Amino acid sequence: MELKEIAAVSGKGGLFKIVKPTRTGVILESMDDAKQKIVAGQTSKVSILDEISIYTHSKDGTVALAEVFKKIYALFPKGLTIDGKADGADLHAFLLQVLPDYDSDRVYNSDIKKLVVWYGILLHHAPELLKPTEEAVEEAPKDKPAKKAKVKAEDEAKPEATEPKPAAAKKPAKAKSPK
């Protein structure tokens, strides 16, 4: 499983695994123990985790959510000491510890709450997404930290500009025969 296969739906709590696209939306399955399936239509706001990033003061301006999750895992591999119900000051202190250069003016408390909740869900249901890959660790030079090689391996693993999948082709309307 990869982050591009996991989505968040506005108005729905938790995370959802993308099961398959349909003509009018996408079928999603909740990542909790209930495994509830829903159909997110065109009016639903579905966000793929692989496409989400956090604002920073770096020259790039953002950091991908996948990188943030891996930084959190490096600091808290067993689980977080904070939950999504913590007050704003504690949430910002947590994110400052994980991502020191995040933009506190553009990252809101609700964003950090989602980050904390999503990390907990992924740690419980898909921990392989948070850990460094084996090939990245193997490719790491002996004299340099594995973290730099891991980032390089992730960049190489990303496909070049991929074309979006076309929507399901519509069948041509059958011509009615005159009576």
Same domain membership, residue 76 and residue 63 = yes
Q: For residue range 40-99, what is the model confidence (pLDDT) as tens digits?
A: 888 888 888 889 899 999 888 889 988 998 998 888 888 888 888 888 888 999 989 989
State the residue range of the domain holding 45.
3-49
Same domain membership, residue 36 and residue 9 = yes
Residue spans of alpha helices (H) in the chain: 65-75, 88-98, 109-125, 134-139, 146-157
Same domain membership, residue 42 and residue 20 = yes
Same domain membership, residue 67 and residue 119 = yes
Same domain membership, residue 26 and residue 14 = yes
Same domain membership, residue 70 and residue 44 = no
CA distance 39 to 16: 11
CA-based radius of gyration for the chain: 20
Same domain membership, residue 110 and residue 63 = yes
Name which residue leads in pLDDT, 168 or 32. 32
The token pair that represents 146 in the structure block: 């594995």
- The pLDDT value given to residue 37: 86
Lowest-pLDDT range of 46-60, 88-102, 120-134, 138-152: 138-152
Q: What is the CATH number of the domain that holds 31?
A: 2.30.30.730
Domains: count for the chain: 2
Q: What is the CATH number of the domain that holds 106?
A: 1.10.10.1650
CA distance 130 to 123: 7
